[in-house]
Amino acid sequence: MKIFKDRQALQKEILKSKGISFVPTMGGLHEGHISLVKRSKKSRLKTLVTIFINPKQFNKKSDFNSYPRNIKNDIKVLKKLKVNYLYIPSIKDIYGFKPKNKVFIDKVSKKLCGKFRPGHFKGVLNVVNRFLEIIKPKYIYLGKKDYQQLYLIKKHIQKRKIRSKIIECKTIRKKNGIACSTRNSRLNQHQMKIASSIFHYLFKLKKKLKVNFSLFKLNKVKIDLINLGASKIDYIENYNTKNFEKIRKTNKKFNLFIAYYIQNTRLIDNI
Ligand code: PAF
């Protein structure tokens, strides 16, 4: 695995390849990332992983500072997976140039996490736009766990006519149902149990709503979640996954989107 810290050196190297399969990450690698890399390797193109904790997508400095970091282990994991290239840029390497494409921010960015983390999606799209310009990947692998992010990146790529194809990858869950996330490393065993019971509660709720959507009673669901151990709920809403329209009546094609806290740890999921 070749490691790059400088975009020009990286570009010189990847110019020689027939195309790149790209897996963007902020490190703190877990099974979700591993499955993205495995999927990318199936493309038979060279796989390039980036590790960059993008300060612009954190709306609180304290969240950026405390974001889990484990670069030594990340490198070990990626070497074992026989990743071809790892790019670990500095802030200057990423933000020290003017990209050709302007970021396109679809109105869906105002919903869900966009409401509770002002500037977050603008920061995500800014960095992804820069990566796409530096790497020009044929494929970019994104997990459905961050479904709103995936949707907004897709809209940006379409609008700016960027020739990279998004490969949507399913959410990887632990046996107890919890969606893999770097932030899970902050949970103790008791908190893991809470997250697991919240997943099972939402899973059952979704099943019921598919049959009869009028069973969705927001206040009752919030009280149930607090009783299960959630400390605070940012949102719990149902959206059509194709167009992000709100679900009002029985309709099979929707997901239940949630963001909630267990003490200081904010978790998101969509089921
Ligand atoms: O999902 C993430 O880890 C990040 O938002 C991404 C796509 C790597 C951009 O910083």
Alpha-carbon torsion (111, 109, 225, 254), positive or negative: positive
pLDDT above 80 for 252: no
Task: Dump pLDDT digits (tens) for 165-184.
Answer: 999 999 999 999 999 999 99
Is the Cβ atom of 24 under 6 angstroms away from ligand 1? Answer: yes
Q: Which residue has the least CA distance to atom 5 on ligand 1?
A: 124
The CATH code for residues 2-169 is: 3.40.50.620
Task: Dump pLDDT digits (tens) for 134-156.
Answer: 999 999 999 999 999 999 999 99
pLDDT interval class at 127 (50, 70, 90)? very high
- Active-site residue (options: 30, 33, 120, 156): 33
What are the structural domain ranges in the chain? 2-169, 182-270
Burial 85-123 (b: 16+ CB within 10 A, else e): bbbbbeeebbbeeeeeeebbbbebbebbbbeebeebbeb
Which residues does 63 contact at the CB level (< 8 Å), separation at least 6? none
pLDDT above 90 for 163: yes
pLDDT for 197: 98
pLDDT interval class at 253 (50, 70, 90)? confident
- The alpha helices in the chain, defined as continuous H runs, are 7-14, 31-41, 61-66, 71-80, 91-95, 112-116, 120-135, 147-159, 189-211, 218-228
Q: Measured in angstroms, how far is the CA atom of residue 24 from the centroid of ligand 1?
A: 6
Which residues does 128 contact at the CB level (< 8 Å), separation at least 6? 24, 140, 153, 156
Task: State the Cα torsion 24-53-3-47 to the nearest 10°.
Answer: -10
Q: Which residue has the least CA distance to atom 7 on ligand 1?
A: 24
CA gap 158, 152 in Å, rounded: 10
- Average confidence score pLDDT of the chain: 97
Q: Which residue has the least CA distance to atom 1 on ligand 1?
A: 25
Topology annotation, domain 182-270: Pantoate--beta-alanine Ligase; Chain: A,domain 2 (3.30.1300)
Question: Are the C-beta atoms of residues 48 and 20 closer than 8 Å to each other?
Answer: yes
Ligand 1: nearest atom to the Cα of 131: 9
- Taking residues 100-121, what's their average pLDDT? 98
Which residues does 240 contact at the CB level (< 8 Å), separation at least 6? 246, 247, 251, 253, 254
pLDDT for 94: 98
Is residue 156 flagged as an active site residue? no
Is the Cβ atom of 26 under 6 angstroms away from ligand 1? Answer: yes
pLDDT for 251: 80
pLDDT interval class at 238 (50, 70, 90)? very high
Question: Are the C-beta atoms of residues 55 and 91 closer than 8 Å to each other?
Answer: yes
Question: CA nearest 63: which of 195, 183, 202?
Answer: 183
Q: Measured in angstroms, how far is the CA atom of residue 224 from the centroid of ligand 1?
A: 31
Task: Dump pLDDT digits (tens) for 43-85.
Answer: 999 999 999 999 999 999 999 999 999 999 999 999 999 999 9
Give the other-Cβ count within 10 Å of 19's Cβ. 14
- Taking residues 180-208, what's their average pLDDT? 98
- Taking residues 192-214, what's their average pLDDT? 97
Give percent of the chain with pLDDT exceeding 70: 100
pLDDT interval class at 104 (50, 70, 90)? very high
CA gap 163, 107 in Å, rounded: 22
What pTM did the predictor assign?
Answer: 0.97
Residue recorded with tokens 């890399």:
37
Give percent of the chain with pLDDT exceeding 90: 97
pLDDT above 90 for 212: yes
